[in-house]
């Protein structure tokens, strides 16, 4: 049935414009390879020689940057094509991909195959480069298997190749919109292994360098790959082309502007971390940085010309200007990728600062002294990922509230206070002294863990962000393709959301992940890796949100739990959490002891004592958020009873107390011997003027009426939207 649904969407034969775009991309790949290999050879970059290792040979010195350029271009093209299928062109009403989306996934499968081959070839090339040996000496499978686990570059490229294979399989098997969105998320994982383990992940300030480079590469992938995908869409033929272009081009234009801003900002940050301004001139690294900055400015200018002249015309079905400017832009983008590869193979100039300290090498920066209250509160180091996320989430929420106020709707102030408090807690936990000392001390890390895993999720779910988004985002309507509001509804109603919010699954993830992380080899293995700290922080936030959302969240959840079940779920987690804190305090072996001892912090002479302090913090501080949950549940429970009582009072005022009347009638019949009136209650219910109350009154007053009478939702989500918003009215602050 799945294949029958998409049979009309079969791709059409290649046409001349599409072949021209493919040829343009091929020329761009050739330019990128020449730029990467040529600039690397001209700069004399020999990383192995710089480490005192023998030269791996010309094949590795020239072939490695060339193959890396091919791998990154194929990766970017794959991400762009999957992006087009997932969010730039509309699917069918049935949920299956339409012609444009199906065609984009098929194109992505070919570029994913090239990505797989290039990433696989990077494994022996990176091994040869790291060992300073010719690549032909490492082709033996037994040798490669023996050396692979010991060489980080080879491991990261192996992981990248596995991601590429997974995306390739997905592009050949996925037919529905939902799984295409999941496939895009998987493809965006592809750039991260190499990004977090390159030269930006070593030396001083490698935390800022790695974070900025990760954001830089992800934004560039969406930007460059999206443009190529849009050009291929514009060059296609078929009855669906005009409708698809009318949706894809305006969406991509907005996305491209955001990506350009992110690429520009993170590029500046990454460059300043590696080289001071006064050293830009006179060094090969500085020259490459300036050339890349000039290319970025040129791309920004071309983007402005697009928005002024070609975007509107292309959306109307006149893509000539888009094809001309887009072709130049693609060539410049792909050449810039080659330039970035050469830049990554070039060592920054020596600034004379001397070698970094042991602590700076391990965590990216030095610590001024013991973590006093003043240092924890005032010694900030902004986290580019989570700090930026906190600011963006706060700003987006305030914009949503502003939109409601402008159209005359009311939004509960307490929800805004809760959301902004959660964003502030996220910012403090990751960017203040807590975030600065967290990677170096177990006790501070555990305090950070408690804030991220318990306090922040509670405050965020009390802010009702889904309800706010449903009221603030405009519905697409029946005749227009689904937009962000419909995507959000689809996510809330997805089978994955129902699975993850199941009480037993959420409880297992929330309390079980503590034991799986800290009482296994995962925690010691993660401590030396900067990316692993980011993954841990993200994990704490996600599992906390999944646990507390169906318990105290005001938003509609895939599973509705009665108040007693919610209270029971909270109390079920308490002993597990308390036992975890006691187990950490009473342990005789330091968790990650080798790593903490290698830092040699003078104010942490005994890492086991610091661990016991952290366990005490986990045991004591963890009860405070749970107390907040209990208080919120009691308040919500009492308000739910008040709403039920108000509904009963309104019914009694309108139609009398039916139950009391029925009881009195029964007593009267018993006293007089009259036969029972079995259908009396049904007759009362069917009396003229008798109406049933189908939606509870919300504590927001006019907000409930506004949500119940909001504008029509798009096709395919009308019933789901109504049920979500009605279920969202059954809770209060």
Q: Which residue has the higher pLDDT, 236 or 267?
A: 267
Share of the chain above pLDDT 90, in %: 36
Which range (24-38, 385-399, 704-718) has the least confidence? 704-718
575-598 tens-digit pLDDT:
888 888 889 998 888 999 999 999
Which range (50-59, 385-394, 470-479, 489-498) has the least confidence? 50-59
639-683 tens-digit pLDDT:
665 666 666 666 666 655 666 677 677 777 777 766 655 544 444
564 pLDDT higher than 60: yes
Residue in the structure block whose two tokens are 């006093």: 372
10 pLDDT higher than 50: no
316 pLDDT higher than 80: no
Q: 543 with 453: CB under 8 angstroms?
A: yes
Number of Cα atoms under 13 Å in the Cβ half of residue 564: 0
Q: Which residue has the higher pLDDT, 368 or 402?
A: 402
Share of the chain above pLDDT 70, in %: 80
The closest of 73, 71, 162 to 121, measured between CA atoms, is 71
51-65, 472-486, 700-714 — which one is most confidently predicted on average?
472-486
3-state secondary structure at position 132: coil
N residues, the chain: 733
pLDDT at 3: 39
Is the torsion defined by CA of 379, 383, 387, 388 positive or negative? Answer: positive
108-117, 193-202, 519-528 — which one is most confidently predicted on average?
108-117
- Give the burial string for 172-188 (b: 16+ CB within 10 Å, else e): eebbbbbebbebbeebb
718 pLDDT higher than 60: no
In degrees and rounded to multiples of 5, residue 464 shows phi and psi of: 55, 55
pLDDT at 646: 65
CA distance from start to end of the chain: 46
pLDDT at 305: 75
Rounded distance, CA 61 to CA 48, Å? Answer: 10
pLDDT at 470: 92
Quickly count helices (H) and strands (E) in the chain. Answer: 35, 0
Is the torsion defined by CA of 616, 618, 622, 624 positive or negative? Answer: positive
CB pairs under 8 A, 24+ apart, for 704-709? 704/729, 706/409, 706/410, 706/471, 707/467, 707/470, 707/471
Q: Write out the two tokens for 89.
A: 């062109």
In degrees and rounded to multiples of 5, residue 96 shows phi and psi of: -80, 155
Average pLDDT, the chain: 81
pLDDT at 622: 66
70-114 tens-digit pLDDT:
999 999 999 999 999 999 998 988 889 988 999 999 999 999 999
Q: 596 with 442: CB under 8 angstroms?
A: yes
Q: Write out the two tokens for 378.
A: 């005032």
164-179 tens-digit pLDDT:
999 999 999 999 999 9
pLDDT at 2: 37
CA 108 to chain centre: 21
- Find residue 96's DSSP bridge partners: 176
Q: Which residue has the higher pLDDT, 180 or 354?
A: 180
Helix 99-131 to helix 206-235 angle, to the nearest 10 degrees? 140
**pLDDT class for 5, splitting at 50, 70, 90?**
very low
359-373, 399-413, 549-563 — which one is most confidently predicted on average?
399-413
CA 212 to chain centre: 15
Per DSSP, helices labelled H in 529-606 are 530-552, 563-586, 593-599
Residue in the structure block whose two tokens are 């807690």: 425
696 pLDDT higher than 50: no
């Amino acid at each position: 049935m799945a294949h029958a649904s998409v049979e009309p969407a079969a791709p059409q034969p290649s046409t001349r414009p599409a072949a021209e775009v493919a040829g343009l991309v091929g020329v761009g790949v050739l330019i990128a390879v020449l730029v990467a290999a040529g600039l690397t050879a001209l700069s004399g970059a020999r990383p192995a020689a710089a480490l005192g290792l023998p030269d791996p040979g010309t094949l590795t010195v020239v072939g490695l940057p060339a193959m890396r350029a091919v791998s990154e271009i194929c990766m970017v093209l794959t991400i762009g094509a999957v992006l087009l299928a997932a969010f730039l062109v509309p699917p069918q009403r049935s949920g299956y991909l339409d012609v444009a989306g199906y065609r984009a996934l098929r194109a992505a499968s070919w570029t994913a195959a090239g990505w797989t081959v290039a990433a696989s070839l990077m494994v022996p090339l990176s091994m040869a480069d790291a060992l300073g040996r010719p690549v032909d000496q490492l082709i033996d499978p037994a040798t490669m298997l023996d050396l692979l686990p010991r060489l980080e570059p080879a491991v990261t490229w192996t992981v990248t190749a596995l991601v590429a294979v997974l995306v390739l399989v997905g592009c050949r098997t996925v037919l529905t919109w939902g799984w295409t969105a999941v496939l895009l998320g998987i493809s965006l994982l592809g750039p991260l292994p190499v990004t977090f383990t390159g030269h930006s992940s070593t030396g001083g300030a490698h935390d800022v360098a790695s974070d900025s480079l990760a954001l830089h590469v992800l934004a560039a992938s969406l930007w460059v790959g999206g443009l190529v995908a849009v050009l291929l869409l514009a060059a296609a033929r078929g009855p669906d082309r005009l409708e698809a272009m009318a949706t894809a081009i305006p969406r991509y234009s907005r996305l491209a502007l955001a990506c350009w801003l992110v690429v520009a900002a993170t590029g500046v940050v990454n460059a300043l971390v590696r080289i001071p301004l006064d050293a830009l001139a006179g060094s090969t690294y500085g020259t490459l940085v300036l050339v890349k900055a000039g290319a970025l400015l040129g791309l920004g200018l071309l983007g402005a010309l697009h928005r002024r002249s070609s975007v509107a015309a292309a959306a109307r079905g006149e893509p000539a200007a888009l094809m001309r400017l887009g072709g130049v832009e693609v060539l410049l983008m792909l050449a810039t990728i080659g330039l970035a590869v050469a830049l990554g193979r070039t060592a920054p100039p020596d600034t004379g600062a001397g070698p970094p300290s042991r602590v700076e090498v391990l965590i990216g920066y030095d610590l001024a002294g013991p973590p006093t209250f003043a240092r924890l509160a005032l010694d900030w180091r902004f986290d580019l990922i989570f700090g930026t996320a906190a600011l963006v989430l706060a700003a987006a929420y305030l914009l949503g509230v502003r939109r409601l106020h402008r159209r005359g709707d009311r939004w509960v102030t307490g929800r805004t206070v809760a959301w902004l408090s959660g964003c502030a807690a996220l910012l403090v936990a990751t960017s203040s002294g807590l975030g600065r000392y967290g990677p170096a001390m177990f006790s501070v890390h555990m305090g950070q863990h408690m804030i991220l895993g318990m306090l922040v999720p509670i405050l965020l779910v009390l802010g009702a962000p889904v309800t706010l988004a449903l009221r603030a985002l405009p519905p697409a309507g029946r005749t227009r393709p689904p937009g962000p509001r419909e995507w959000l509804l689809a996510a809330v109603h997805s089978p994955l959301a129902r699975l993850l919010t199941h009480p037993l699954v959420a409880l297992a993830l929330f309390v079980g992940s503590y034991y799986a992380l800290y009482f296994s080899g995962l925690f010691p293995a993660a401590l030396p890796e900067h990316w692993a700290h980011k993954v841990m922080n993200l994990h704490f936030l996600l599992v906390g949100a999944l646990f507390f959302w169906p318990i105290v969240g005001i938003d509609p959840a895939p599973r509705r739990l009665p108040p007693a079940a919610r209270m029971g779920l909270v109390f079920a987690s308490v002993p597990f959490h308390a036992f975890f804190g006691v187990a950490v305090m009473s342990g005789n072996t330091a968790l990650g002891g080798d790593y903490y001892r290698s830092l040699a912090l003078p104010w942490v002479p005994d890492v086991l004592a610091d661990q016991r302090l952290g366990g005490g913090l986990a045991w004591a501080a963890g009860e405070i958020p749970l107390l907040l949950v209990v208080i919120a549940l009691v308040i919500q429970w009492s308000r739910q009873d008040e709403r039920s009582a108000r509904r009963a009072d309104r019914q009694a005022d309108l139609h009398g107390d039916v139950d009391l009347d029925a009881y009195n009638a029964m007593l009267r019949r018993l006293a007089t011997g009259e036969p029972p009136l079995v259908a009396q209650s049904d007759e009362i219910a069917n009396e003229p003027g008798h109406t049933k109350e189908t939606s509870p009154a919300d504590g927001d007053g006019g907000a409930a009426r506004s949500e119940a009478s909001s504008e029509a939702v798009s096709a395919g989500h009308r019933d789901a939207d109504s049920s979500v918003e009605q279920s969202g009215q059954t809770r209060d602050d």
